[in-house]
Chains A and B, each alone.
Chain A
Amino acid sequence: EPEVTQTPSHQVTQMGQEVILRCVPISNHLYFYWYRQILGQKVEFLVSFYNNEISEKSEIFDDQFSVERPDGSNFTLKIRSTKLEDSAMYFCASSGSLAGAVGERETQYFGPGTRLLVL
């Protein structure tokens, strides 16, 4: 069964450093998302991406964050200058295909996450 993959599984970085989290969405999906989950808290939406542009973003997704689909398979989240409070689990998700069955766009499948620790 197709699945979303994410690399790395764990990342430790120093405050102020740049990190890039990578995701390979399900191959025929068109909509891509990033969420984060601070330890012990609920999952929070960061950004959604469709047709090579951001379609929605939350207030968390400030100028320190950017997303890119550099090729036909990868979807990346970059944090330019990490802060201690960026420590969290980051999930990539994807949904929707050209076939477009009812509910397909809304049903998001998540990757296994990248655990980011900022020291």
Chain B
Amino acid sequence: AQTVTQSQPEMSVQEAETVTLSCTYDTSENNYYLFWYKQPPSRQMILVIRQEAYKQQNATENRFSVNFQKAAKSFSLKISDSQLGDTAMYFCASHTGTASKLTFGTGTRLQVTL
């Protein structure tokens, strides 16, 4: 079974600072995708960023970037210049092989403070 682990239940960062959220995963597949989703208090699930396992280059989307370490099966999310609107739960998820489902981690609650 695929597993995704987020070891930080809660994190806090000051506005304009940088924060990194950790995620590790376990898969025996070679072909897989990794995602970060944001869930604000409204509870909507918003796609933040995607990483293809076959790509060595780390994905970036504006202030969001990942550090993808394939050998270590690590996939962390870096948020630069944090904003109050970044306050949310962040879920790491994997999609592996021919399966259709996403497997989610337990989430990290991020609080951005003034």
Contacts and interface: CB of A to CB of B under 8 A. Distances in A.
B107 A42 contact: yes
A45 B103 contact: yes
Given A42-B105, A103-B33, A110 B99 contact: no
A111 B95 CA distance: 18
Given A107-B50, A110-B45, A113-B44, A55 B33 contact: no
Given A42-B106, A103-B52, A107-B50, A50 B44 contact: no
B42 to A, nearest CB: 7
A112 B47 CA distance: 12
A31 B104 contact: no
Given A42-B107, A106-B33, A112 B44 contact: yes
Contacts of B104: 42-44
A18 interface: no
Interface string B33-47: 101010000111111
Interface residues of B, number: 23
Nearest to B105: A42
23 contacts: A31-B100, A33-B100, A33-B101, A33-B102, A42-B106, A43-B45, A43-B91, A45-B102, A56-B99, A89-B43, A103-B33, A103-B52, A106-B95, A107-B33, A107-B35, A108-B95, A108-B102, A109-B47, A110-B45, A110-B47, A111-B44, A112-B43, A113-B45
Interface of B: 33, 35, 37, 42-47, 50, 52, 91, 93, 95, 99-107
Given A102-B52, A107-B47, 12 more contacts: A33-B101, A33-B102, A42-B91, A42-B107, A43-B93, A43-B102, A56-B101, A93-B45, A110-B45, A110-B47, A112-B42, A113-B44
